[in-house]
Chain A
Amino acid sequence: MNRTQPLVLGIESSCDETGVGIVRGTTLLTNTVSSSMDEHVRFGGVIPEIASRAHLDAFVPTLEQALADAGVALDDVDAIAVTSGPGLAGALMVGVCAAKALAVATGKPLYAINHLVAHVGVGLLDRKGSGQGTGTAPQLPENLGALLVSGGHTEILRINSITDDVQLLGSTIDDAAGEAYDKVARILGLGYPGGPAIDKVARTGNPKSIRFPRGLSQPKYMGTVEEPGKHRYDWSFSGLKTAVARCVEQFEARGEEIPVADIAAAFQEAVVDIISSKAVLACREHGIKDVLLGGGVAANSRLRELTGQRCASAGIRLHVPPLDLCTDNGAMVAALGAQLVMAGVEPSGIRFAPDSSMPVTSVSLPA
């Protein structure tokens, strides 16, 4: 196996995006994605069975497209990488079975990779022909933090080594932030996906008109630096969603018009405030000076703005990858796979099971 500039094909199917990405070392060759998002619109959220059916039909065409875009043949590939978790069990299963079949048919080594750590892997990618190529391969800053916010997850990670030392500092204990956006968008009649819809409407609203609760911010959860509470860096969004529903009901009960823009703005402010404040707190208390933003909610203008401000005042550099690399995709899986190959990590083989709750301490599965 070429371990210096390996050609790696990455497969992602943990939620509603079927992704195939190809990288050579740290150079991105293609990031091909087929999304089933449109099929979930009428349900107001991702339906796992619909996503799984779509993965099955999208995989081979997406693979074919990716190979064509990158101008490579399967024969040239050094290794295959696939998301083995965390994610929706039935959705993961499709990508994992396809990846294993690819490994059997080509005889190439297969790496079973952690989806969350893969989100960080995009920080190591150079775009082909982007003009940014400096001749030196991109490297992650030491002691890097990663704030991942999407419809499926909300986490703050500390990356000591992307190939073998990743730590979970905090995460949501119930809904993911993006899920809260979807549910609140439904309450407000704004459609799916909720993130962009709320972000847009919120711009015309007054975020201070209503004060929504910030989950897990009370002293009993926070504790102190010396004696941290159980949920010092954790989030909770289910109470916030309920508070929005109550608020809407109160306007209705009084027979008043619902101030949709104000509620959207106040909700968004509550989400973004608690995400950014806890993330910055976790970084400060762990000596983290660089933080990478990942996940689909990175597209949210207010999240980028407020996190950027707070990071800047705390002396932390915020790195935001291009948006198409923040959302779920195969390139991030390939990027992490390439790092594992270059670090000399052994492949996972083809006997592993997908793990819908794979912990971040497991960057790739052992053989």
Chain B
Amino acid sequence: MLILAIDTSAVASAALVSSEAPGSVLASFSTEDTRSHAEVLAPGIEEMLAGAGVTGKDIDALVVGVGPGPFTGLRSGIATARTLAFVWGKPLHGLVSLDAMALEVAESAAAVPEFLVATDARRKEVYWARYSLAEGRLPVLEDGPHVSFAADLPDLPAFGAGAGLYADALNAHPDFAQEQPDALYLGKFALARLVAGNALLDSTPLYLRESDAQVPGPRKRAL
């Protein structure tokens, strides 16, 4: 099974993961930048496919990180994934973007049985979720995702750039203080679940916040 994974919940990243490839990963790319997704994502995917000698025909499914993440960036990945899936006629699945980092934690030496993943939600808040981890299993999402002030999170080891940003309020793991969700782990997570016959989400974005629009009140009368 060959999957194209895309995530733009923080940085722009994409990966080709395959159940036949060693370590599951065929190719991947990611950017440092969190604000130029519309420019870099499509060329990155095109070059990655060409470099791996893969075309749309070879791909069995697509998976996209549905956030949470800053809205405009998040949409660039979902718009891209939905369009590719439509043109290629392939199934598209969604996965909580924080799951990607949960798997990265699980595969690292820093793994603990219960932990938080947090990313920057701007406006002094973080997007976060709580995970549990059992030996030899995929991480399990226990609570979230939510958007909150760092000070209001449960007191557990916290992983990710959102934790690093508020290291004074959170028990941030130093090795993960700048980590962002990456399509590489998102793809591996999706592959493991799909191969095991487990369902994933659809590609509906997890905005977690309403648009800032205010319904205008009645006009003040001049009296």
Whether, in the assembled complex, A74 has its beta carbon less than 8 Å from a beta carbon of chain B, the answer is yes
Q: Which of A47, A49, A105, A248 contacts B71 (CB 8 A)?
A: A49
Tell me how far the C-beta of A90 lies from the nearest C-beta in chain B, rounded to whole angstroms.
5
Whether, in the assembled complex, A252 has its beta carbon less than 8 Å from a beta carbon of chain B, the answer is yes
Q: Which of A43, A49, A59, A102 contacts B216 (CB 8 A)?
A: A43
User: Looking at the complex, which of B35-43, B126-134, B146-154, B166-174 is the stretch in contact with chain A?
Assistant: B35-43
Whether, in the assembled complex, A96 has its beta carbon less than 8 Å from a beta carbon of chain B, the answer is yes
Q: Which of B38, B81, B83, B87 contacts A93 (CB 8 A)?
A: B38
* Residues on B with beta carbons closer than 8 Å to the beta carbon of A43: 213-216
* Residues on B with beta carbons closer than 8 Å to the beta carbon of A89: 72
Bound-state Cα–Cα, A94 to B87, Å: 17
CB atoms of B216 and A50 under 8 A apart: no
Q: Which residue of B lies closest to A56 (CB)?
A: B75
* Residues on A with beta carbons closer than 8 Å to the beta carbon of B216: 43-44, 186
* Residues on B with beta carbons closer than 8 Å to the beta carbon of A55: 79
Whether, in the assembled complex, B137 has its beta carbon less than 8 Å from a beta carbon of chain A, the answer is no
CB atoms of A97 and B79 under 8 A apart: yes
Q: Which residue of A lies closest to B218 (CB)?
A: A189
Bound-state Cα–Cα, A354 to B41, Å: 13
CB atoms of B87 and A102 under 8 A apart: yes
Q: Which of A42, A102, A250 contacts B83 (CB 8 A)?
A: A102
Tell me how far the C-beta of B22 lies from the nearest C-beta in chain A, rounded to whole angstroms.
27
Bound-state Cα–Cα, A96 to B41, Å: 11
User: Looking at the complex, which of A134-142, A195-203, A279-287, A345-353 is the stretch in contact with chain B?
Assistant: A345-353
Whether, in the assembled complex, A225 has its beta carbon less than 8 Å from a beta carbon of chain B, the answer is no
CB atoms of B86 and A60 under 8 A apart: yes
CB atoms of A353 and B222 under 8 A apart: no
Whether, in the assembled complex, B219 has its beta carbon less than 8 Å from a beta carbon of chain A, the answer is yes
* Residues on B with beta carbons closer than 8 Å to the beta carbon of A218: none
Whether, in the assembled complex, B19 has its beta carbon less than 8 Å from a beta carbon of chain A, the answer is no
CB atoms of B84 and A104 under 8 A apart: yes
CB atoms of B213 and A105 under 8 A apart: no
Q: Which of B41, B81, B86 contacts A100 (CB 8 A)?
A: B41
Bound-state Cα–Cα, A220 to B174, Å: 63
CB atoms of A90 and B72 under 8 A apart: yes
Tell me how far the C-beta of A209 lies from the nearest C-beta in chain B, rounded to whole angstroms.
20
Which of B71, B81, B84, B211 has the most CB atoms of chain A within a 10 A radius of its CB?
B211
Q: Which residue of B lies closest to A249 (CB)?
A: B222
Whether, in the assembled complex, A128 has its beta carbon less than 8 Å from a beta carbon of chain B, the answer is no
CB atoms of B41 and A90 under 8 A apart: no
* Residues on B with beta carbons closer than 8 Å to the beta carbon of A74: 87
Binding site of B, secondary structure by majority: helix, strand, loop or mixed? helix
Interface size on B, residues (CB 8 A): 39
Bound-state Cα–Cα, A264 to B87, Å: 49
CB under 8 Å from chain A, chain B span 66-80: 71-72, 75-80
CB atoms of A56 and B84 under 8 A apart: no
Whether, in the assembled complex, A357 has its beta carbon less than 8 Å from a beta carbon of chain B, the answer is no
* Residues on A with beta carbons closer than 8 Å to the beta carbon of B80: 97-98, 100-101
Bound-state Cα–Cα, A352 to B41, Å: 11
CB under 8 Å from chain A, chain B span 180-223: 205, 207, 211-216, 219, 221-223
Bound-state Cα–Cα, A264 to B37, Å: 45
Whether, in the assembled complex, B56 has its beta carbon less than 8 Å from a beta carbon of chain A, the answer is yes
CB atoms of B214 and A49 under 8 A apart: no
Tell me how far the C-beta of B9 lies from the nearest C-beta in chain A, rounded to whole angstroms.
14
* Residues on A with beta carbons closer than 8 Å to the beta carbon of B39: 351-353
Whether, in the assembled complex, A162 has its beta carbon less than 8 Å from a beta carbon of chain B, the answer is no
* Residues on A with beta carbons closer than 8 Å to the beta carbon of B11: none
Q: Which residue of B lies closest to A43 (CB)?
A: B213
Whether, in the assembled complex, B45 has its beta carbon less than 8 Å from a beta carbon of chain A, the answer is yes
* Residues on B with beta carbons closer than 8 Å to the beta carbon of A42: 215
Query: Do A47 and B211 contact each other (CB < 8 Å), given the known contacts A101-B84, A105-B56, A353-B38?
Result: yes
CB atoms of A90 and B71 under 8 A apart: yes
Q: Which residue of A lies closest to B205 (CB)?
A: A56
* Residues on B with beta carbons closer than 8 Å to the beta carbon of A354: 38
Whether, in the assembled complex, A64 has its beta carbon less than 8 Å from a beta carbon of chain B, the answer is yes
CB atoms of A100 and B221 under 8 A apart: no
Bound-state Cα–Cα, A53 to B75, Å: 8
Bound-state Cα–Cα, A60 to B215, Å: 29
CB atoms of B87 and A59 under 8 A apart: no
Whether, in the assembled complex, B46 has its beta carbon less than 8 Å from a beta carbon of chain A, the answer is yes
Q: Which residue of A lies closest to B216 (CB)?
A: A44
Other A-B pairs beyond A63-B83, A93-B79, 4, CB < 8 Å? A43-B216, A53-B205, A56-B78, A105-B84
CB<8 Å pairs between A and B, sample of 20: A43-B213, A43-B216, A49-B212, A49-B213, A53-B207, A56-B82, A89-B72, A90-B72, A94-B79, A96-B38, A101-B42, A101-B79, A101-B82, A102-B83, A105-B56, A105-B83, A105-B87, A186-B216, A252-B221, A351-B40
Closest 3 CB pairs of A and B: A49-B211, A249-B222, A100-B42
